[in-house]
Amino acid sequence: MGALSPWHIILIALVALLLFGPNKLPELGRGFGKMFREFKDATTGGGSSSSNDEAVPAPKKELNSSVTEAASHDSSSVSQPK
């Protein structure tokens, strides 16, 4: 079996058009595009997905504030030699 020829692609497109109709095909295309984009982002470890962008800054800010708080707590609890 070789690669798909243009005739195979046309036949697949016609079958999809007959099965799903012209109104449902754009919705299916968007769904597959979103699925492949999310898969690619998950496998590469990065991406521009809005859910990833919103989720990352909050834990980073929380970690920074915790480290700052711990550092100030440690420095205030240490007694200075006289």
Q: What is the architecture of the domain spanning 7-70?
A: Up-down Bundle (1.20)
Model pLDDT for residues 60-71, shown as the tens digit of each residue: 667 777 777 777
Provide the sign of the torsion angle of the four alpha carbons 12, 15, 19, 21, taken in this order.
positive
Select, from the ranges 21-25, 52-56, 57-61, the one with the highest average predicted confidence (pLDDT): 21-25
Cα–Cα distance, 34 to 41 (Å, whole number): 10
**pLDDT given for residue 8 in this prediction:** 93
Domain boundaries, the chain: 7-70
Answer yes or no: pTM beyond 0.75: no
20, 28 contact by CB (below 8 A): yes
40, 47 contact by CB (below 8 A): yes
